[in-house]
Structure 1
Amino acid sequence: MLNFPKFFMTGIGIWRLDLKIRYAVLKKLYAIYSVIMQAYFLVFMCSLDLEFFLTCTNDKNPSELFQQLSYVIALSVVTITSLLWQKEEIREIIIHMLKEEKTIAGSEDPEVLDTYLNQVRVSGKINVAIFSLSFGVALSILLETWWRRQQVNKINATRNETLEKPFPLELYYGYDFDRERYSTLLLVTQGAACFSINFMVTATKVMFFTCIAFASMVLKTLQIKFRKYGSRNHDPSRELTALIVEHQRIIRFVTNLNESMKYIVLLEYLLNSLNVATVSVQLIVTKAASPIFFLGFLFAQIFVLGWSANEIKVQSAALANALYASRWPDQPEFAQKLILVMIVRSQRPLELTIGPFDAMTTQTALRILKASYSYITLMKNNYDQLPPFTGK
């Protein structure tokens, strides 16, 4: 399950586990590469934010503000998330996942193995979809920029004007920097930046969703073991002890996962609704193609987050039914009491929370879209009240 996110996290230099590189010099080179990549993204974000601030203070087309604002919001979330993914707590979670996955993959129970493999397939499809949508956003931005530059060239040639040509990303280079003179260099570097950003977006999002999918998977495999308790030729006392230990281990894992991710979820919750609204207004105003891909990516991200987080809650609550379906009435009295305690504990489902607030569920995802609609209405009304833009 971790191969796909590991590839992208390694690509942008934020994979903090041993890569099993044979030569020490390569490890040092990767460490240097990691520092360079993170410094590059921080400088990139500072340049993007500064240019957005200057755009707000100048007489610019309001539609450009919506476009830049959507990039600032989305990339700010990704940058902050990439920093959070390098915390020691996250490293411990990934190590735990690697160990647990190895144990489950080597299980002799065919039902457990089928559940694991099915979750790997589902997680893989979601990860590929997220990457494809992110790649589509980057590609659509570049193609749309190319088309707009062609249109500006035609206007400049037929009307003898000098309209400024657009670039994929509006970055700050300095007051005296001649963008048109170095346009080829800027287009190449910004094109590379779009795809490196695509790597970072994919890395942070798919690792996030993989961790949640993994928590759901271990809960499903534990249900199977609960239902089969007492039906195999095992020492019931030893088997029950092993199940209790595994249950407690999963509870700790999900609790630690929530503690490490709850502020990432809060950030996603607060900014995704604003970003959906910003991109939607941009689509309404400009009739461009790239916002369509951007909206598709945002919708997929919101619903995958809500659905996968909700799965943890549902699967943890289902543990009680799985225990009740076992052959617990045939067990000794002490075992029956322990099972009842476990059933009672399972009535309090595990969940991912939005910061210190409510749980993240599919209903929360719908609330994000409702908030987005309110923002869209407000932004569109304010845009309609602006005087017509007459600048070049």
Structure 2
Amino acid sequence: MFKVAKILMITGGIWKLKMTKSNLLQFIYAVYSGVVQVLYASGPVSLLISLFYLFQTDIAKAIENISRLIVVSLQVLKILLCQSEGVVRLFSRAVREQVDVYRHRDGVVRKVYQDHVKYCKWTTAPVAVLFLICGLSQSGIGIWTNFNFEQLQRQSNETLELPLAVPFWYPFDKNKHHLLALLFQVFQSQFTSFYCAGTQAYYNSIFIFVRAQLKILQYNFRNFDDRSEANRQISEDFTLTALKKLCEKHQELIRSVEELNDSLKSIMLLEYSVASVLLAALLFQVMANIGVEFNIYVFFILSCQLMAMAWNCNEIIIQSTGLASALYESRWYQHSQQVKVIVHLMLVRCQKPLNLTIGPFGPMTANDGVSRLKLAYSFVSVMSS
């Protein structure tokens, strides 16, 4: 389930779990990780400085650079948050629990999980590919710009100004060291796509894993007394023990989701808050006839990213409330009073759904994703009128 996220995060240098037993290779990766993250973090600084010059010369490009600055700054914050101790601990636990599920002796449990693995690949991989294509296109534009610049330099005796696809500020003369400027631009474009795709796959994989755990728990709730039904000699104590274990598993899952929410609510707030600004900025540039094809493409990717996160968060709410129905569908009424009391208490707890919140603004649902698209459209409609 975490394969797509792992590949992208290893490439981007933000994978925190141990990858190899070799201390040397682990050290080399740690050095690589530190270098690329420091270089990438210089991007927002360079974009911010360039804004001061662009506002004096080209307002249209300045507006375009603001959206880039927001995207890159958001990725830096998401990288820092996804490497926090709480998130890494949760992800590590999910990876370990995944192994236990694959080894489960119940074929239905394994099938439920494998179905979610396929679902995870089909929801994270396409968005990741779209982000990578976006990065490659930006890199291609930069390389093509450099090729044309070298051709013009050879044909002209004058010192030409290097036209870059993204107007970064450089602490050196970009016309004399245009290859270095180009490499920095390609690096920023490519690693922005890696980080956007990697963090999106990272968080959605965790959300889908929680959903899979809830579906498996529903199956176990519905069939908690299957063994006692198959073998009448098994005592009521066995059923009571099995039910208590499921209750403990439910409580453990509740604590995990609460811990996950505490770790990710800042990221959810960032995504939710910045999404409207970015989507509105992209639509505004399209209406102003600035990079129409590219901005429409980025708008589509960001919309898919926002809706995927909102949908998966909404699924956690739905599947957690489905636990009550699954437990009620079991044969609880055929058992002792003690079993009925435990079932009743579990049913009461299942009435409170598990959710992931947008900071202090309540749970994230599918409606919140749609509302961001509506807000962006409303903003552009008001500005255009």
TM-score (norm 1): 0.89
User: Per-residue CA shift, 1:187-237, capped at 9, x if unaligned?
Assistant: 233223321222122221110111111111100110010111112236201
State whether residues 358 and 364 of structure 2, in contact with CA within 8 Å, keep that contact through their aligned partners in structure 1: yes
User: Per-residue CA shift, 1:55-94, capped at 9, x if unaligned?
Assistant: 23x121x321232111111111111010011111112101
Instruction: Find the aligned partners of 1:129 and 1:40 in 2 and give their Cα distance.
Output: 27
State whether residues 115 and 221 of structure 1, in contact with CA within 8 Å, keep that contact through their aligned partners in structure 2: yes
Instruction: Find the aligned partners of 1:236 and 1:28 in 2 and give their Cα distance.
Output: 51
Structure 1, unaligned runs of 5 or more = 382-392
Q: Which amino acid aligns with 2:26?
A: K
2:376 to 361, 372, 382: 372
- Structure-2 residue corresponding to 1:387: none
Aligned CA-pair RMSD: 2.6
Structure 2, unaligned runs of 5 or more = 229-233
State whether residues 139 and 190 of structure 2, in contact with CA within 8 Å, keep that contact through their aligned partners in structure 1: no
Query: Between the two proteins, what is the percent identity of the paired residues?
Result: 29
Q: 1:379 to 1:187 in 2, by over 3 A?
A: farther
State whether residues 231 and 327 of structure 1, in contact with CA within 8 Å, keep that contact through their aligned partners in structure 2: no
- Structure-1 residue corresponding to 2:50: 51
Matches within 5 A, 1:61-210: 62-144=59-141, 164-174=161-171, 177-210=172-205
1:243 to 242, 246, 249: 246
Instruction: Find the aligned partners of 1:378 and 1:51 in 2 and give their Cα distance.
Output: 29
2:351 to 347, 350, 355: 347
State whether residues 66 and 281 of structure 1, in contact with CA within 8 Å, keep that contact through their aligned partners in structure 2: no
Instruction: Find the aligned partners of 1:88 and 1:157 in 2 and give their Cα distance.
Output: 54
- Structure-2 residue corresponding to 1:386: none
Q: Which stretch has the larger CA shift, 205-214 or 28-37?
A: 28-37
Instruction: Find the aligned partners of 1:34 and 1:7 in 2 and give their Cα distance.
Output: 14
Q: Which stretch has the larger CA shift, 188-197 or 72-81?
A: 188-197
Instruction: Find the aligned partners of 1:208 and 1:379 in 2 and give their Cα distance.
Output: 34
Instruction: Find the aligned partners of 1:281 and 1:165 in 2 and give their Cα distance.
Output: 27
2:277 to 259, 274, 277: 274
State whether residues 78 and 199 of structure 2, in contact with CA within 8 Å, keep that contact through their aligned partners in structure 1: yes
Instruction: Find the aligned partners of 1:167 and 1:207 in 2 and give their Cα distance.
Output: 32
How far has the Cα of 1:240 moved from its partner? 0.4
State whether residues 140 and 293 of structure 1, in contact with CA within 8 Å, keep that contact through their aligned partners in structure 2: no
Instruction: Find the aligned partners of 2:178 and 2:312 in 1 and give their Cα distance.
Output: 43
Instruction: Find the aligned partners of 1:217 and 1:142 in 2 and give their Cα distance.
Output: 38
Matches within 5 A, 1:23-34: 24-34=23-33
Q: Tell me if 1:322 matches 2:326.
A: yes
State whether residues 81 and 264 of structure 1, in contact with CA within 8 Å, keep that contact through their aligned partners in structure 2: yes
- Structure-1 residue corresponding to 2:225: 230
Aligned pair count reads 376
Structure with the bigger RCO (C-alpha within 8 Å, sep 6+) is: 1
User: Per-residue CA shift, 1:32-60, capped at 9, x if unaligned?
Assistant: 2222122112112211222124323x121
User: Per-residue CA shift, 1:125-172, capped at 9, x if unaligned?
Assistant: 2221121110122233344556778999999999x9998553132211
